[in-house]
Structure 1
Amino acid sequence: MPVEWQPVRQVRTHELVLQSIEEQVFAGKLRAGDRLPPERELAPVFGVSRSALREALRVLETIGVLVAQPGRGPDSGARIVRNPDDALGRLLRLHFALGSYSLHDVMEARVALERASFAAAAAHASGADLDAAGEIVQRMSREGIEPEEFNELDTEFHVKVASSSGNALTSTLTAAVRESVRPLILRALEDVDDWPAAQAHLNRQHTEMLRLVRAGRGAEAADLAEQHIRGFHGTLVDEDRPGAAE
């Protein structure tokens, strides 16, 4: 009977370390706040070199589930954390820049997420959250504000509404998607023919969206949020289509 050979999966050493740590997290044996043993103790346990262990830890730090503090004090070493916002935003920005997602895909994701955010915020947002969102709108309304600061505050406003919705995952995804297109939106703001007029128009929409949320009119707030996104973000999608500049 002929021997049936099976292909062997090639795995780099640090991937095996990652898999082992992930299994401990999935099993509930590693939780946020837990510290990993020092490298000099952990590497022999895994049976790997300290360089392979460090590579695995760097991957975990990049995806926002671990923070490494160098040194020898009580706070040194690697600790499991929950920090998905910055990590997801960074990864999504890179994939967007590499062309993994089209502008149209990003816009449709924004529409779906922010419709849900504004509708839920109308039902669940606290007065303090809405006051904070209102302060952001006031700062965006200042005369003479430059597009760069406006864009930062615009992102902050949409993320604040999402975070007030009561859904942490929606908030994180909204922040990641909005952050991924922030540089592109900034360039578009800088290129508008009449920046003061564009600023005033966008702020009227921000003010009205917030008013509808305060009034508990979630469906209307969601509709206006979609109109707001498609109105400006939509122009970027149109410009990105083949032949748009011809």
Structure 2
Amino acid sequence: MFVEWQPVRQSRTHELVLRSIEERVFAGELKAGDRLPPERELAPVLGVSRSALREALRVLETIGVLVAQPGRGPDAGARIVRNPDDALGRLLRLHFALGSYNLQDVLEARIVLERSSFEAAAGHAPSEDLDEAEELVRGMAEPGVGVSVFNDLDTRFHVLIARSSGNALTSTLTSAVRESVRPLILRALEGVEDWPATARALNAQHRTLLTLVREGRGAEAADLVEQHIRGLHGTLVDEPFGP
């Protein structure tokens, strides 16, 4: 695909480079999978230094729309990609840590997203996704499962159901919100008095949620996942967690 590049102004150079690349994405001239010209070619065409170009490319890589492979060969260079999940999760975790959103905001966002995703999954989830969710539930039920492993499997379970709902944006947002509170949920689980009993209770809800989704009982699954989230995540809202 031929892309016509134009020089950009020198003030706030890396932002202008970003704007130039964004404009080509918006215009459909650059799509996922397309490669950018090598730095030595693209920088002079844009009329900027290679350091300014690299700064712009690093920003694009951080927000999950570009991947850069150093070195030589067919895979080297910068390529446009679609990888929003990790990028949004990273940004949300940072803003959460900086106090941009409080725990109550995150709690209510999780509830809205997961009610929607569980209800939709009850009508759209592929059987292979539900089989994978079953394996995660079994993993959480393993005797002696540790808090960290349980928390990881728990996160994967909720994100998988969101993915199986058929709504890619809901899946991405659910993943970002759930990941943003993963450390706090881990600390809460580590602080419970009777971890084995807590694990059994939480996983009993996971198993019931999965059954409701398999049986197409979306409204009931939505109600239960709200109860499930408020049960643990809701306790975080009332407790002082320091940095």
Calculate the TM-score normalised by the size of structure 1. Answer: 0.93
Aligned to 2:195: 195
1:206 paired with 2:212, answer no
Structure 1 moving runs of 4+ over 6 Å:
none
Deviation at 1:240, TM superposition (A): 4.0
Aligned to 2:58: 58
Aligned to 2:175: 175
Aligned to 1:41: 41
What does 1:119-198 correspond to in 2, within 5 Å? 119-198=119-198
1:63-84 deviation digits (Å, cap 9, x = unpaired)? 0000000112111100000000
Aligned to 1:78: 78
Q: Residue 75 of structure 1 aligns to a residue in which SS?
A: coil
Q: Distance in 1 between matches of 2:146 and 2:207?
A: 19
Aligned to 2:230: 230
Deviation at 1:190, TM superposition (A): 0.3
Aligned to 2:7: none
AA matched with 1:178? R
Deviation at 1:182, TM superposition (A): 0.3
Q: Distance in 2 between matches of 1:145 and 1:187?
A: 16
AA matched with 2:130? L
Percent identical residues: 77
Task: Indicate conservation of the 8 Å contact 1:162/1:174, yes or no.
Answer: yes
Q: Distance in 2 between matches of 1:36 and 1:44?
A: 13
AA matched with 1:223? D
1:48-93 deviation digits (Å, cap 9, x = unpaired)? 1000000000000000000000112111100000000011111111
1:150-184 deviation digits (Å, cap 9, x = unpaired)? 00000000001001000011001000000000011
Aligned to 1:244: none
Q: Residue 222 of structure 2 aligns to a residue in which SS?
A: helix
Deviation at 1:14, TM superposition (A): 0.2
AA matched with 2:63? I
RMSD: 1.1
Q: Distance in 2 between matches of 1:73 and 1:22?
A: 26
Task: Indicate conservation of the 8 Å contact 1:121/1:162, yes or no.
Answer: yes
Calculate the TM-score normalised by the size of structure 2. Answer: 0.94
What does 1:68-107 correspond to in 2, within 5 Å? 68-107=68-107
Deviation at 1:11, TM superposition (A): 5.2
Q: Residue 206 of structure 1 aligns to a residue in which SS?
A: helix
